[in-house]
Structure 1
Amino acid sequence: MSTETIQHCAGCGIGLQTEVKSKLGFIPEVALQKEPLICQRCYRIKHYNESSSITLQQDDFLKLLGHVGQTKALVVKIVDIFDFEGSMISSLARFIGNNPVLLVVNKIDLLPKVTNANKIINWVQRRVKEENLKVVDIVLCSAKKNIGFDRVISAVQEYRGNMDVYVVGATNVGKSTLINRLISDYSDLEAELTTSQYPGTTLDLVKIPLDDGKFIIDTPGIVYKHRLTEVVKKRDLTPLMPDKPLKPMVFQLNEGQTLFFGALVRFDFIQGEHQSFTIYTSNAIQIHRTKLERADQLYEEHKGVMLTPPAQADLEELPKLVKHPLHIPKGKQMDVLISGLGWIKVNSLAGAQLAVHAPKGIKVITRESLI
């Protein structure tokens, strides 16, 4: 579809295009003969009560947040408990004005079943405070497994009053699954979808009508390149992203030992007392242990073959591994988070010198232990 003949969606107002299914404004060519013209995203909401995952780069997403701050609305922020820091919008507080924020912590079903929910909420409260984000409430849920979703609905009802509801979140946090549940629970969709673009932007917002004349506003997912899930090939997402409760693996390591997580990430225990490390990653990721002195050679000889994912053919497109030196102080229970891969809990209070080698740009941090 040429720019001279560009047409717009009658639902959300986005410019229509027929080339890329995953981009904003996609419409199949056969649908161009129909009236009214509706992009595939609006079509799926209108006819199937289903929203799709459309994404934006960070700069465009921040422009969108600036507009949210000029309205009166409840902001529902969705984060992924498996990648909490990686899926947080760190600048959210600066953009949303005085609007209340309801924090929905999704994928709680991935945590081991013995996990104490109150301790998780307390941990999230401390982490949110560190992010300087004020929230009216925190709700743990699993949209996929329908755990805690009644509480999400009641919290939205409690805090929105007569306001619109903006739903924001990064990619792969389960935003579409959760908003699809909101659509089915909250709206009969008898009203037409309405144009909701703000002047001067090309951002796609879909307004889903509620019974009281207000709207749930579905925002595109934000793409954060600091997450491993954003830099690997699509075929590697399946082993990388767990779909069932994590089964932690415990490794007893001496200093001078290394763990490889496929060919994606390398974890070095450089110095410290003999101690255990608990791994919280997808159980589809193969972990290989070796001596630190052999780590470079092992990687060069076996990356993409024994050490997978990714496969050898995809290694060239993966950013080169960058070393992150880490210090775990004595007396602290800490996790090492590798955004998109999971985390490694340092079980000893004796302290340790560590290093993580991860693709360039991937967020690697230490934090208070989640579990």
Structure 2
Amino acid sequence: MTEETVTPHYCIGCGAQIQTVDKTAAGYIPASALKKNLAAEDVYCQRCFRLRHYNEISDVRLSDDDFLRLLTQLSEADALIVNVIDIFDFNGSLIPGLHRFVGDNPVLLVGNKVDVLPKSVKRGKVKQWLQQQAHAAGLRPVDVLLTSAKNGYQLDELLQAIDHYRAGRDVYVVGVTNVGKSTLINRIIKQATGTQNLITTSRFPGTTLDKIEIPLADGQQLIDTPGIIHHQQMAHYLGQRDLKLVTPKKPIKPRTYQLDSGQTLFLGGVGRFDYEQGPHSGFTLYFDNNLYIHRTKLSNATDFYSRQLGKLLQPPRPKEVATLPALKRIQFTPEEKSDVVFAGLGWITVPAGATVSGWAPKGVAVTLRTALI
């Protein structure tokens, strides 16, 4: 039995119970570091340690109970809600039920990772599309902005919009895991101060178990919240090495395939697209440039997948095959040009009237939406 089990310890920075098991959960600290810090009695979790010494905010994940508690806080607050979503994975990065909890608080929708969209895509059209998708999900944002936490695209415009719409109130920054929310927060801190080393621990007096409060010049707070788990994201079913193979970091180069009915495209080993019925047509794919695409006959697809998963069809790598859920099929016949979206992976634009099926690991959402491009 470990000492952690016998005598619980708590981070003096955020109050989370110290644990050495889950790097993504609150209170994590490497076991070796815990032994060193126990002697000094001042134990900081890894998240608070990085905040104190490097001014880096790292995400932690919320349990379902914590998620409900956070949403309740939003409904009780008088604040601007900045909802960060992943443009590349809009459906997978929506916070389930957010529109029911924001009350009368204004919501500023921020589309992150604009840098991975094809360069030919018009930004104005993307903003309009995001607005439409948000409305369809029940969210009514006061404005939509595009940014890139990676390269700081339009960060000044974002800061101006936040200052305008908050109207002297606090700001809550919310988002699901893997949307780049904490990277964006760190960008904002650096932009606002001019240097990462200017902000010290004393500037973060409101650090708590579930949020970090960053003082603003007028005495209000910019509140960074933990990343909320969206269980339909591909990220929850792949290891870190495999995830890097399907997560775009450079502008996507669309790939168009001319297909006849009865043909299948495999998206590595983590997705499948069947063209079941319709005339010879072009289908444009928007996935990471390095994701392997394999074309085969629909009649042979199931047998081919069972033989080649983890071999020709990667990711997943061979040792990750056993943990990947079986692929589940969803069929669509869109009435207009549409995207078949594989949450966290990408999408395929299909023509009106085509009968197609999208397959993804059970638990990962496959949905149909109005074409983005």
Same fold (TM over 0.5): yes
In structure 2, the residue matched to 1:21 is: 23
> 2:219 maps to which residue?
213
User: Residue 75 of structure 1 aligns with which residue?
Assistant: 81
Q: CA deviation at 1:34?
A: 4.1
Which of the numbers 237, 256, 266 marks the counterpart of 1:250? Answer: 256
The alpha-carbon deviation at position 253 of structure 1 amounts to 0.1
Counterpart residue number, 1:322:
328
Contact 1:269 1:354 in 2 (8 A): yes
Q: Is the contact between residue 155 and residue 188 of structure 2 (CA under 8 Å) also seen in structure 1?
A: no
Match of 1:115 in 2: 121
Q: Report if aligned partners of 1:208, 1:216 keep a CA contact under 8 Å in 2.
A: yes
- For 1:346-365, what per-residue CA distance to the aligned partner results, in whole angstroms no more than 9, with x for missing partners? 1x34x111111211111111
> In structure 2, what is the equivalent of residue 200 of structure 1?
none
Q: What is residue 199 of structure 2 aligned with on the other side?
A: 189
Deviations along 1:93-123, whole A, 9 cap, x unmatched?
A: 1112211111110000111111111111111
- Tell whether the 8 Å contact from 1:248 to 1:279 is kept in structure 2 after alignment: yes
What's the counterpart of residue 303 of structure 2?
A: 297
- Give, in whole Å, the separation in 2 of the partners of 1:247 and 1:142: 18
User: Given residue 112 of structure 2, which amino acid in structure 1 is its aligned partner?
Assistant: N
Instruction: Measure the CA separation in 1 of the matches of 2:368 and 2:249.
Output: 25
Contact 1:225/1:231 (8 A) holds in 2: no
- Provide the C-alpha distance between the structure 1 equivalents of 2:232 and 2:20, rounded to a whole number of angstroms: 30
CA distance in 2, matches of 1:252, 1:207: 52
The CA distance in 2 between the partners of 1:41 and 1:181, in whole Å, is 17
Equivalent-residue separation in structure 2 for 1:162 and 1:43 (angstroms): 30
Q: Secondary structure at the match of 2:245?
A: helix
C-alpha distance in 2 between matches for 1:171 and 1:37: 26
Residue deviations 1:135-188 (CA, integer Å, cap 9, x gap):
111110111011111111111111122222111111111111101112223465
Counterpart check, 1:333 vs 2:344: no
Q: Once the 2 structures are TM-superposed, how far is the Cα of residue 35 of structure 1 from its aligned partner?
A: 6.4
Per-residue CA deviation, residues 61-96 of structure 1 (Å, 9 max, x unaligned), is 122111121111111100000001110113101112
**1-structure distance, mates of 2:60, 2:73:** 19
CA apart distance, 1:36: 4.4
Q: Which residue of 1 aligns with 2:318?
A: 312
C-alpha distance in 2, partners of 1:98/1:307? 48
Equivalent-residue separation in structure 2 for 1:21 and 1:292 (angstroms): 41
Alpha-carbon shift at residue 312 of structure 1 (Å) = 2.4
Q: Does 1:370 align with 2:369?
A: no
What residue is the counterpart of 2:14 in the other structure? Answer: 12
- Counterpart CA distance in 1 for 2:139 and 2:245 is 32
The SS at the match of 1:250 is strand
Contiguous gaps of at least 5 residues in structure 1: 198-202
What's the CA shift for 1:33?
3.8
CA distance in 1, matches of 2:217, 2:46: 24
Q: Determine the C-alpha separation between the residues in 1 that align with 2:144 and 2:358.
A: 31
- Alpha-carbon distance between aligned partners in 2 of 1:232 and 1:344, rounded to the nearest angstrom: 21
Q: Match of 1:344?
A: 348
Q: 1:231 matched to which residue of 2?
A: 237
Distance 1:232 1:370, change over 3 A: same
The code of the aligned residue for 1:315 comes to: V
Distance in structure 1 (CA, Å) of the matches to 2:368 and 2:320: 29
1:217-260 superposed Cα distances (whole Å, 9 cap, x missing partner): 11111111211121111111111101000000000000000000
CA distance in 2, matches of 1:106, 1:230: 20
TM-score, with normalisation over the residues of structure 2? Answer: 0.92
Counterpart-to-counterpart distance in 1, 2:118 and 2:100:
34
Query: What's the TM-score, normalizing by structure 1?
Result: 0.93
Note the residue ranges of structure 2 that are not aligned, 5 or more in a row: none
Look up the SS of the partner of 1:10 in the other structure: coil
Deviates more, 1:283-292 or 1:49-58: 49-58
The Cα shift of 1:192 comes to 4.4
- Which residue identity does 1:343 align to in structure 2? W
Matches of 1:20 and 1:126 in 2, distance apart?
37
Percent of residue pairs bearing the same amino acid type: 44
User: CA–CA distance in 2 between the matches of 1:22 and 1:123?
Assistant: 32
Counterpart position of 2:56: 50
| Deviation, structure 1 residue 4 | 5.1
For 2:314, the aligned partner's letter is T
Name the CA distance, whole Å, in 1 between partners of 2:61 and 2:19: 15
Contact 2:81 2:108 in 1 (8 A): yes
Whole-angstrom CA distance in 1 between matches of 2:356 and 2:23: 43
Q: Is the 8 A contact 1:209 1:216 kept in 2?
A: yes
Q: Distance in 1 between matches of 2:43 and 2:167?
A: 34
